[in-house]
Amino acid sequence: MDQSAFQIFATIVTSIVVEAMPFLLLGSLLGAVVSVYVGESTLEKLANRSLPVQLLLGCLAGLVLPTCECGVVPVVRRLLSKGVPPGVAIPFMLAAPVVNPISIASTYVAFQGDIRIVVLRVCFVLVPAMVLGWALSEVNGRELLRPTLAMAPGCACGCGHDDHHGHDHDEAAPSQGAKLLLVLRHTAHDFLDMGRLLVLGACAAGLFKVFLPQELLASVVGNTPLAIAAMMLVAVLVSVCSEADAFVAASLTMFPRSALLAFLALGPMLDLKLLPAYLTVFKRRAALAIAVIPACIIYGLALALSMVWGGISACV
């Protein structure tokens, strides 16, 4: 790697990390607050609601709890470990990075006020989020998680046991100061845990972007099925944050809109930052389902859209 290529690589890695770290910190903080302050009665109310209501709550939670895909995984890890049903947690994890005011506004601005792109992007995300939430709804949320020490901070006393078992050795409720300290501890733990994965993913994305043969992408532009698959692959490898990826997509005017929508929908659900996070947090079968099922659904939706509207390229 010559000096100029290394400079490009370093710039890409730095930009991804700097862009994602604030959202990762926010997600880690929210997850810690859930772990320390959310009561069991609130969780039981979520668990007792009907499945359609659970799916709707999960899909729309991002509107009031905006978070990037970089920070949503630790939030969901905490939610599942606290007993929130997968019918709420999984749709939230997949939909919140896009179905939130920040991403919606950035998409609207990037595509110069084209509301159709905004609506289609949201629909492309909601469909796989609801399907996967429905498919995993009968599973106990804790059974989806890896039984590692990463889940130990769920205990408010730091003894290494999940806090849903209670604190038999200490019946007294922790003080507000102790709770605040626990929030800071859990935030630091999740931030460092997910931060190393973010750095690894950013390095992989930087290597990809430096050595990507541009001619290869240009050769598939005229073939819509291949263009959709190519843009989905780019979404996975480039790892752009969901608050900024619309501007990247809007600049790729040579691709059909169906391919750009596939890029915009898949990236926040699956990229080089998220894949190792899924494999670390979830058991292997669950992680593969979270990665593969949305990708297949999004490809099918984009292909169907291209057949009906010709990628809506003529409309834009």
Distance CA 298, CA 98 (A): 14
Distance CA 208, CA 286 (A): 27
pLDDT for the residue 42: 63
Nearest of 136, 155, 26, 23 to residue 82 by alpha carbon: 155
Q: pLDDT means per 10 residues in the chain (316 residues)? A: 79 81 78 71 70 92 75 85 90 92 87 93 97 93 76 39 41 75 86 77 74 71 89 85 81 86 94 88 94 96 87 44
Write the CA distances from 285 to 281, 300, 301, integer angstroms.
Answer: 12, 22, 24
pLDDT for the residue 191: 83
Four-residue CA torsion sign, 289, 81, 49, 277: negative
Interacting residues of 30 by C-beta distance below 8 A, sequence separation 6+: 65, 67, 71, 75
- Could you tell me how far CA 127 lies from the centroid of its own chain? 15
CB 262 within 8 A of CB 302: yes
Q: Position 72: which residue type? A: V
**SS3 sequence, 2-40?**
CHHHHHHHHHHHHHHHHHHHHHHHHHHHHHHHHHHHCCH
Strand partners, 282: 145
pLDDT for the residue 20: 74
Q: The tokens of 304 are what?
A: 């169907």
pLDDT for the residue 41: 59
pLDDT for the residue 154: 43
